[in-house]
Amino acid sequence: MSMSIEISFSKTAKVSGGLVVALGSLAEPVSASARSMDPAGQLDKAVKVAGFTGKLFSTADIIAPVDAPADRIALVGAGEPGKLTAHEWMRIGGKMVALIRKAEKMVVLLGDDTAVSPEAAADMALGLLMRAYSFDLYKTKKSEDDENGARKLAVVFQHEDAAACKKAFASRQAVADGVKLARDLVNEPANVLGPVEFAARAKELEALGVEVEILTEKEMKKLKMEALLGVSLGSVRPPRLAIMKWQGGKPKDKPLAFVGKGVVFDTGGISIKPAAGMEDMKGDMGGAAAVTGLMHTLAARKAKVNVIGIIGLVENMPDGAAQRPGDIVRSMSGQTIEIINTDAEGRLVLCDALTYCQDRFKPEIMINLATLTGAVMVALGQHHAGLFSNDDKLSEALSKAGEVTQERVWRLPLDPAYDKMIDSKFADMKNTGGRYAGSITAAQFLKRFVGDTPWAHLDIAGTAMGSPSTDINQSWASGFGVRLLDELVRANYEG
Ligand code: BES
Ligand code: MN
Ligand code: ZN
């Protein structure tokens, strides 16, 4: 069950009852902070019995000594705290969530530990929030025995420099909120979140100062987006294109552009998918969700950069009006496409969104995200997203951001030999390239629509949903891409 968590930072956190968490290191498993909770000096024995050595990511949960001001004292191992990365601090924050159980208040003591910088404290808080996320909108029975019953929890981080912690946390709160938005959108079922409803969620970003335009079917017809519209033909729910604009930079600076695949449900269309696991295709808008979450984060933290987010929202259904294999459509770019398989629909949505993005905004860089191919999971599993790019510098910046955030990407090749695989007998290209190299031929297809714009394509089919739980995510939807791209923007484009 979900918790609504309120994070605060304080120099002097008064403890009376509740849960107290202290960090332990290999050098000092029971820190001075922990000792301050133990007037009778009983902790060392308890910690020893619990087998806690301060090892990184280990925990110990101890009933507090009778005369202690807290009810429970929990320790989280930080190993060698001077050496930890931001992501490792986040994971430590995540570990704390498993310790909460029935506590109503949690105080995290960082006071005497100089290795814990304000940034590290803020990273712990971010990791804690991300781990505590759960999507239970549709559970009507809040189970008694669920150890984290739906409720409010106050978490106080006690730190010498609480003001600096608070300042460092402000941008992390924006990240936590953007990730939450992306996860919510992916977890939401398709009967609730159609193209129109998704567009309305994007529109809500106006509250943060994002300009949002929504194009209707009629407007897209006028723009000749026949590739995108073709995917939508079988659905009774009309498509939308949402354009989100954040102007945090100088007015005449070229924007960065992020484009997302937003197939709210992918049945495969006439080339219908097998039944097993098809329910997962409610998450086929993971690219659009990441772009929307990213726009939320950038606006909420007032990023000093101009950014455009564009998401193509459609539903791919089989129907009397649906498009067929063999059909030929003319994309907005003028290039014609022979539809071989109606299940290769993401590239059809993206190609028109990419063309529109370049024609209208002339972006400095353009990055698209899409749950594009099952083949990317065959190649990389669920631990890396596939990265394709026509620009080495952008590709390296993305890889670096991936290492920092641990939303990792792995570059795969683009090459004329693969491009040839999508030549068509009847049109300029076909929408599938055969059995081999499915992720690469999908990327080659997109590349035909990006011209000279420095561009990257992230295939997030394996990482956006259903990926293994981690210390900072226990939900089906991961929100993959929000932290990766926020870091890319922060490290490379904000002055
Ligand atoms: N949305 C799917 C890709 C996908 C599969 C995402 C599994 C997440 C999990 C995409 O539209 C698709 O169906 N791709 C086909 C392409 C094929 C027809 C060339 C695929 O991967 O099989
Ligand atoms: Mn498909
Ligand atoms: Zn799809």
- Mean of the pLDDT values across residues 200-211? 99
Sheet holding 429-430, edge to edge: 328-330, 336-338, 429-430
Structure-token pair, residue 469 = 């739980």
Ion ligand 2 neighbours, Cβ < 5 Å = 266, 343, 345
Average pLDDT over residues 290-300: 99
In 3D space, the residue among 197, 220, 205 whose CA is nearest the CA of residue 315 turns out to be: 197
* Tens-digit pLDDT profile for residues 45-89: 999 999 999 999 999 999 888 888 999 999 999 999 999 999 999
What pLDDT is attached to residue 158?
96
Residues around ligand 3, an ion, CB closer than 5 A: 263, 266, 284, 346
Residue of 273, 330, 400, 411 marked active site: 273
> Could you confirm whether 400 is annotated as catalytic?
no
Question: Residue 86 phi/psi, 5° resolution?
Answer: -55, -40
Distance 100 CA to ligand 2 centre (A): 41
**What is the distance in A from the centroid of ligand 2 to the CA of 476?**
19
- DSSP characters for 104-125? SEEEEE-TT-TT--HHHHHHHH
Residue 161: predicted pLDDT: 95
Nearest ligand, CA 431: 1
- Tokens describing residue 316: 């791919």
Beta bridge partners of 261: 312
Distance CA(73)–CA(300), nearest Å, equals 35
Active site residue 273: yes
Token representation of residue 349: 């949505």
Can you list the positions of beta strands (E) in 373-483? 385-389, 409-411, 429-430, 455-459
* pLDDT reported for residue 150: 60
pLDDT in tens, 5-59: 999 999 998 898 899 999 999 999 999 989 989 988 889 999 999 999 999 999 9
Strands lying side by side in the sheet with 105-109: 3-10, 151-158, 105-109, 19-24, 72-77, 59-63
Q: Which amino acid is at 423?
A: D
Q: Which of 131, 166, 240, 347 is catalytic?
A: 347
Amino acid at 233: L
pLDDT at 340: 98
CA–CA gap between residue 333 and residue 142 (Å, rounded):
51
**What confidence score (pLDDT) does residue 3 get?**
82
pLDDT at 242 over 90: yes
pLDDT value, residue 111: 72
For 83-123, the pLDDT digits (tens) are 999 999 999 999 999 999 989 899 999 976 667 999 999 99
Residue labelled with tokens 């510098």: 393
CB neighbour list of residue 114: distance below 8 Å, 6 or more residues apart: none
Q: Would you say residue 298 has pLDDT above 80?
A: yes
By three-state DSSP, how is residue 428 classified? Answer: coil
Stretch 324-345: mean pLDDT, rounded? 99
Instruction: For 372-394, give the DSSP string.
Output: --THHHHHHTTSSEEEEES-HHH
What is residue 217's predicted lDDT score, i.e. its pLDDT? Answer: 98
Tally Cβ neighbours within 10 Å of residue 177: 18
Token readout for 114 is 């100089």
Taking only the tens place, the pLDDT of each residue in 164-175 is: 999 999 999 999
Task: For residue 306, give the H/E element and its range.
Answer: strand 306-316
Give the per-residue pLDDT at 112: 65
Q: How far is the CA of 266 from the centre of ligand 1 (A)?
A: 9
pLDDT band at 149 (very low <50, low <70, confident <90, very high): low
Neighbouring C-beta atoms of residue 161, cutoff 10 Å = 16
Three-state secondary-structure class, residue 230 = helix
Which pLDDT value is given to residue 492?
98
Q: Is the pLDDT higher at 18 or at 200?
A: 200
State the distance from the centre of ligand 2 to the C-alpha of 263, rounded, in angstroms.
Answer: 9
Largest CA distance in the chain: 84
Residues belonging to the chain: 495
What's the distance, CA 291 to chain centroid? Answer: 9
Q: What is the mean pLDDT of residues 390-397?
A: 99
* Identity of the residue numbered 464: A
In this predicted structure, the answer to whether residue 489 has a pLDDT above a threshold of 80 is: yes
User: 43 or 257: whose pLDDT is higher?
Assistant: 257
pLDDT number for residue 222: 98
DSSP, collapsed to helix, strand or coil, labels residue 184 as helix
pLDDT of residue 143: 60
Residues ≥6 apart with Cβ < 8 Å to 132: 2, 3, 5, 97, 148
Provide CB contacts within 8 A for 83, sequence distance 6+: none
**Encoded tokens for 6:** 């309120």
Percent of the chain with pLDDT over 70: 97
Q: Ligand 1 pocket by C-beta < 6 Å: which residues? A: 266, 284, 341, 343-346, 371-375, 432, 438, 461
Q: pLDDT-based confidence at 1, cuts 50/70/90?
A: low
Collapsing DSSP to helix, strand or coil, 259 comes out as strand
Q: Tell me what the pLDDT averaged over the chain comes to.
A: 96
Mark out the alpha helices in 146-269 (DSSP H runs).
Answer: 162-187, 195-203, 217-222, 226-232
* pLDDT, mean of residues 432-447: 98
Helices 286-300 & 162-187 angle (0-180, nearest 10)? 160
156 φψ region: left (φ > 0), alpha (ψ -120 to 50), beta (else): beta
